Amino acid sequence: MDDIEEAKLPEFFKFWTVISSLILDPKRGPDVFRRLKSKGCEVWSYRCSLFMDRQSVLDYYRFHPWKCFLLGLDGVAWWDAMEPHGPDYFDHEDGYDDGITLCGTDRKPVPTKMLQAVREGLEDVAYMDRLQKELKRVGSQGKSFPEYEKLLADREGILERSNQAEVDDWRLKAGQAINRLTRE
């Protein structure tokens, strides 16, 4: 990071996608994020590792947006390299792409459960954002809903336990809370 700042790159490049292993690192990540944000940069985190298609769909794909949202990052991305040679240029057997899309029989990309998990993670984040805004709105009217505030407080524990049924339950309750709060 010192070299990046010395070269004045944060002043020149205002959009940074930082690999998740760095930005999610509890020791180095906050410093990288703070330093880039102090230069007016937008900071995203991306996932990239060999054989990503063998990672946990819940932890690796769906929870990445959650983690980035909770850290205050601006966005998320996934690395996907495709080999332009051979019969299947989406071939994930070489380990250089994540299998988030695969090549169909018509040689066009086919979405996977990994891509669906990314979409669901982004939708979860939309629920988080809307729930926070609705709680703030009704709070400014002197109303409180501790059971809905608990939904937001429970997110870190849900990440740690990594249980699909708990994620599904959280999402249903968050949707119900948003529905009720929008009627207040």
> pLDDT confidence of 159, banded at 50, 70, 90?
very high
Mean pLDDT of the chain: 88
87 or 105, higher pLDDT: 105
Helix (H, G, I), strand (E, B) or coil at 134: helix
pTM of the model: 0.86
Q: How far apart are CA 31 and CA 21, in angstroms?
A: 14
- Which of 57-61, 76-80, 90-94 tops mean pLDDT? 57-61
Q: How far apart are CA 111 and CA 61, in angstroms?
A: 13
Q: How far apart are CA 4 and CA 17, in angstroms?
A: 14
Mention every residue, 6+ apart, whose C-beta is less than 8 A from residue 29.
Answer: 22, 23, 71
Q: Is the dihedral of CA 6, 9, 14, 18 positive or negative?
A: negative
Which structure tokens are listed for 127?
């629920």
Q: Is the dihedral of CA 59, 62, 65, 69 positive or negative?
A: negative
